[in-house]
Amino acid sequence: MSDEIKGISQTSAVANLCCNDLSNPLGVETTRPLLSWTMQSAERGACQTAYRVLVASSPEKLGRDEGDLWDSGKIESDRSTHVQYLGAPLKSRQAASWKIMVWDKDGTPSLWSEQARWEMGLLRKSDWKGYWINAGRYGGDPSPAPMLRTSFMLKQRVTGGRAYICGLGYYELYINGKRVGDEVLAPAFSRYDKTAYYQTWDVTNLLQVGENAIGVILGNGWYNAFTAEVWDFKQAPWRSQPKLKCQFHLNLEDGKERIIASGPEWKFTTGPIVFDGLRNGEVYDARLEKHGWCMPGYDDREWKSVEIIAAAGGALHSQQHTPIRVTATLKPASMKEVRPGVWVFDLGQNIAGWAQLRVSGAAGTEVTLRYAEKILENGDIDQSNINPFIKSGECQTDKYILKGYGEELWEPRFCYHGFQWIQLSGYPGTPTLDSISGRVVHTDFETRGEFSCSKEVLNSIQRCARWSTLGNYHGIPTDCPHREKNGWTGDASLSAEQVLLNFAPETAYRKWMRDFRDCQRDSGQLPGIVPTGGWGFNWGSGPAWDSAFILIPWYLYLYRGDLSVLSENYERIKLYVDYMTSMAVGNIVDFGLGDWCVPHEPSPERTCAAKITDTAYYYVDSLILAQMAELLCKTADAKKYRALAGRIRKSFWKHFVDLKTGQVAGARSQTALACALYQGLVDGDDATKVLATLVAEVEAQKRHHDCGILGCKYLLNCLSDYGRGDLAYAIASQTDYPSWGEWVMRGATTLWEDFKGATSRNHHMFSDISAWFYRALAGIKPDIRAPGFKNVIIQPNVVGDLTWVKAWHRSPYGRIESEWKTKGNEIHLRVVIPPNSCGEIHVPTRDASSVLIDGHAAAEGSGVRILPSDSLGQPVFAIEAGTYLFQCVAKL
Ligand code: BGC
């Protein structure tokens, strides 16, 4: 035994095994899944020099080191992310167990990792045995939520049971009285006539010998969005009555398989959910509950037979992204009776989700819950900022009708709302703070980073950004959780870097990119909201919004090192860039929206024309496309789009840049100036001139920004990139109008849609400031030369009255940390670079001789190399993985 252990690294181990960025996924669709892991080691310079993957058809075989599906052998490589499975072909429902071993820099192998697994989904159309079924003829009007059921006998124990299910718009699945899974609002919203998602569940432990019952409740969701509103989802081509397709594969003790599938023998009825409209709310009459309806032995003779109906139209794909869950329950901070019998509860936090009601009273009592994110002076709710686009039915209103016995606990299932305040009326008796709680509902992203600093207002902005991000992710990134719930592309593109630093959105983004492909017209044109039912091509889109389709895959590559997302979308991205070319006149594009929600009254002098931001995106998109082409070895394309980018740049110059005045488009617009700098349209001395004009404009506004959503992102980033982090910090930490801090002063718990606060109070489109906290203040930046944080750039700005900053981010290699504090004239910077990656540290001083590393004068050796100083004159060090303390005297 001890002999075997000899030669095994005691300092490194492997963990976090992921398949397609998910831990132990079921329903995998890709026949060459991508495997990732992280090396665990605190040792300085820890890195992987080789790996070996073993994949087996059973955990037992894997336990015996039999890689009957794949034994990669020892591969000399430092790659530990997105390694393609290259083993035996994988069949539908095939299970795979895998483990990994790595060799460290001395060539010493680690122990085998713990086992992980994945399981394939239904890969062929013919695997589907179930029919699409629903509850009879469709009249077009919303009907009560159908409940469907079937039952069957089992003579043997089930050794493995899987449910494959797609219930549109939303479904809840029950087996023998138990709810399957803890997800809500599933499956994900998609362009259902192109793609609908099924989910896979392990139901082994829910089945029993004897009679078994399966029950499903269906909600309307986006599939049957019947509410009249301005985005025309009522006219969506997919729109129809809720429907279900499912099948259950049961492996029995004798080795045989039994399939139970949706079909004509299923029955349906309706029950307590008498109304559910995603944009209106839900009405639940508890008197209509059907006791035991999804239990064996239930008498369903009164139920009707289902009908077999046409499919939703799209291909069925397996849902492989982070699901929506109830992630927290909030107790209200206060309550107030605003009129006799009408109470308003304040959650103290603007959230997306719903309320849970606790009530007892007489049967038939109707309790109403209305949700809002603003209140009137008298404390009553104010829905006026969120209801103008809802043209039929109520807005964010749930109703519960009591069954009349015991304490009744209820919450809606098939809709969600955006709110901080809940108005309660019709309540029998006097409610207490326990009568209502707030259920926080969103895509359940893992937290992947945190930022804090000595300036409290920035910490509040950071908290608001996180809440707005979560409140706006429900399978897709939305603009706001109340008024619209739409997948506005521009909003998501602007916030994506922040989302990638704070959370783990990659599987959700990857899915959203499929929605883009499903919505794109043959001409290449994209709508402003994705998914769309057809609305949004002629208003609300344009390069600044549509670029989400180029930038988000690119950010996934930059921050996560995922190349596959580029190849998956490449042809469609190219189609979009070609579409812009078809719209360009002399390389200038001018269509769709420009800077949005600016804080000043529109004036020609201070407004940035859309053609400036449009053409800049056209340039950046072409350049990114060229880089994608290079990465994917499409040499001719790379050449073509690089040349295109060059032509656009020249035209931009000719039309907009005036070097005599340092102005862009002759306007005093911060957005226009910052756009030219941020998008790389000027450089060298020219950039210095434009920067000087920009700085003068910011000073003229007393160090406030004067930008909408586009300009705000450009402005903070370009100022810190060009050495004016101090000015960016001044803008970011303002607390009077217009600023993020002013929202906080006015009690914001989320980011708002506009600086006045007149419209939505839960938008994330101004949230890139959170990314700026990480990138500019903590200084954590990805490096396009070594994407996915294979090389971590740490380039902090020690600015203003900040005395300390702390941030961490979990990269594909592990946890990066950057924290600094000032000590008199000294700066102490502590950084952690995870194993198998390296760092490039820009020490915030111009006095290179003052730099100490781990208490010693900076010198080469022990994992450190000295690099040429950066464009700001700061000393730069290349470091290996590990923890380092840099000290220096403050920059002069
Ligand atoms: C949405 C925005 C969106 C904008 C675009 C608004 O209604 O809420 O967030 O980006 O329209 O036009």
Q: Whose CA is nearest to atom 5 of ligand 1?
A: 540
The label of the residue with tokens 């999804």 reads 294
Instruction: Single out the residue of 101, 98, 114 nearest to residue 50, CA to CA.
Output: 101
Report the nearest-CA residue for atom 2 of ligand 1: 479
**In this predicted model, which residue has the larger pLDDT, 666 or 107?**
107
Ligand 1 centre from 327 Cα, in Å?
27
Q: What was the pLDDT predicted at 661?
A: 84
Separation of CA 608 and ligand 1 centre (Å): 18
Looking at ligand 1, which residue's alpha carbon is closest to its atom 12?
540
Atom index in ligand 1 nearest the CA of residue 593 equals 12
Which residues lie closer than 8 Å to 5 by C-beta, 6 or more apart?
none
Q: Separation of 540 CA from ligand 1 center, angstroms?
A: 7
Structure tokens at 44: 């300085």
pLDDT at residue 1, as a whole number: 34
pLDDT tens digits, 793-834: 999 999 999 999 999 999 999 999 999 999 999 999 999 999
* Residue in the block written with tokens 């609305």: 535
Cα of 593 vs its chain's centroid, Å = 23
Closest-lying ligand 1 atom to the alpha carbon of residue 480: 8
Of 231, 385, 485, 488, best ligand 1 pocket probe by most atoms within 8 Å of the beta carbon:
488
Q: Give the ligand 1 atom nearest the CA of 545.
A: 10
CA of 231 to the centre of ligand 1 (A): 12
Give the Å distance between the CA of 748 and the centre of ligand 1.
20
Distance (angstroms) between ligand 1 centre and the Cα of 452 equals: 30
How many other C-beta atoms lie within 10 A of the C-beta of residue 180?
20
Mean pLDDT of the chain: 96
Distance 477 CA to ligand 1 centre (A): 12
User: Which of 486, 591, 613 for mutating ligand 1's site (highest number of atoms within 8 Å of CB)?
Assistant: 486
CB-CB contact of 886 with 831 (8 Å): yes
Cα-to-centroid distance, 706 and ligand 1 (Å): 19
Whose alpha carbon is nearest atom 3 of ligand 1? 488
- Range list of β-strands (E), 203-321: 210-219, 243-252, 257-261, 267-270, 273-277, 281-285, 304-305, 307-308, 315-318
- Cα-based distances in Å from 50 to 5, 6, 38, 562: 19, 18, 13, 20
Q: Percentage of the chain with pLDDT > 70? A: 98
Distance (Å) from CA 398 to ligand 1 centroid = 26
The mean pLDDT value for 770-775 works out to 98
Cα of 525 vs centre of ligand 1, distance in Å, is: 18
State the pLDDT confidence band at 767, using cuts at 50, 70 and 90: very high
Atom from ligand 1 closest to the CA of residue 484 = 8
Closest ligand 1 atom number to CA of residue 483: 8
3-state DSSP call for residue 719? helix
Ligand 1 mutation pick, 479, 750, 751, max ligand atoms within 8 A of CB = 479
Distance CA 667, CA 52 (A): 59
Distance CA(540)–CA(596), nearest Å, equals 11
DSSP state of 776: I
Q: Mean per-residue pLDDT for 151-164?
A: 98
Ligand 1 centroid – CA 597 distance (Å): 9
Give the angle subtended at the CA of 109 by the CAs of 107 and 111, to the nearest 5°.
165
- Which residue, 417, 422, 415, is CA-closest to 437? 422
Atom of ligand 1 at shortest range from CA of 491: 10
Nearest residue (by CA) to ligand 1, atom 1, is: 479
Atom of ligand 1 nearest to the CA of 760: 8
Name the residue with the closest Cα to ligand 1, atom 8: 479
Main-chain phi, psi angles of 102, to 5 degrees: -125, 155
Q: Is the pLDDT of residue 394 over 60?
A: yes
Q: According to the model, what pLDDT value does residue 8 have?
A: 58
Q: Which atom of ligand 1 lies nearest, measured to the CA of 539?
A: 12
Distance, CA 488 to ligand 1 centroid (Å)?
Answer: 6
DSSP state of 381: B
The alpha carbon of 541 and the centre of ligand 1 are apart by a number of angstroms equal to 10
Neighbour tally for 502: CB within 10 Å: 26
**Ligand 1: which atom is nearest the Cα of residue 763?**
9
Q: Which residues line ligand 1 (CB under 6 A)?
A: 479-480, 484, 488, 490-491, 528, 540, 593, 763, 765
Average pLDDT over residues 626-632: 98
Distance of CA 841 to the CA centre of its chain: 29
Greater model confidence, 605 or 120:
120
Report the run of H or E that residue 663 belongs to, with start and end.
strand 663-664
pLDDT in tens, 488-544: 999 999 999 999 999 999 999 999 999 999 999 999 999 999 999 999 999 999 999
Dihedral of CA atoms 431, 435, 438, 444 in degrees, nearest 10, equals: -170
83-84: strand order across its sheet = 13-19, 34-40, 83-84
Q: Looking at this protein, which amino acid is placed at residue 884? A: Y
- The pTM score is 0.97
**Of 814, 810, 860, whose CA–CA distance to 837 is shortest?**
814
Which atom of ligand 1 is the closest one to the Cα of 709? 10
Q: Which band of pLDDT confidence, cut at 50, 70 and 90, is reported for residue 140?
A: low
Give whole-number Cα distances, 184 to 293, 349, 692, in Å.
20, 21, 52
pLDDT band at 6 (very low <50, low <70, confident <90, very high): very low
Of 625, 558, 628, 565, nearest in space to 791 by CA = 558
Query: Would you state the structure tokens that stand for residue 823, as one six-digit string?
Result: 């000590």
pLDDT at 769: 98
Please report the atom of ligand 1 found closest to the CA of residue 490. 10
Both tokens of 628, joined, read 């994608």
Hey, which of 484, 597, 713 would you mutate to test ligand 1's pocket, going by the most ligand atoms within 8 Å of its Cβ?
484
- Of all atoms in ligand 1, which is nearest to the CA of residue 759? 8
Phi-psi domain of 528 (left: phi exceeds 0; alpha: psi -120 through 50; beta: other): alpha
Which atom of ligand 1 is nearest to 753's Cα? 9
CA–centroid distance, 479 to ligand 1, in Å, is 7
Task: Report how far ligand 1's centroid is from the alpha carbon of 578 (Å).
Answer: 25
13 CA distance to ligand 1 middle (Å): 47
Rounded to the nearest angstrom, the distance between the alpha carbon of 112 and the centre of ligand 1 is 50
Burial 829-848 (b: 16+ CB within 10 A, else e): bebbbbbbbbbbbbbbbbee
Task: Please tell me the predicted confidence (pLDDT) of residue 659.
Answer: 83
- pLDDT score for 137: 66
Number of H helices, E strands in the chain: 16, 47
Beta bridge partners of residue 104, listed in sequence order: none
**Locus of tokens 């960025």:** 21
Ligand 1 centroid – CA 219 distance (Å): 27
545-601 tens-digit pLDDT:
999 999 999 999 999 999 999 999 999 999 999 999 999 999 999 999 999 999 988
Ligand 1, pocket-test mutation among 387, 493, 529, 596, most atoms within 8 A of CB: 596
Which ligand 1 atom is nearest residue 540's CA?
12
Going by pLDDT thresholds of 50, 70 and 90, the confidence category of residue 851 is very high
Total Cβ atoms within 10 A of residue 172: 21
Q: Output the residue whose Cα is nearest ligand 1's atom 11.
A: 540
Report the distance separating Cα 211 and Cα 271, nearest Å. Answer: 23
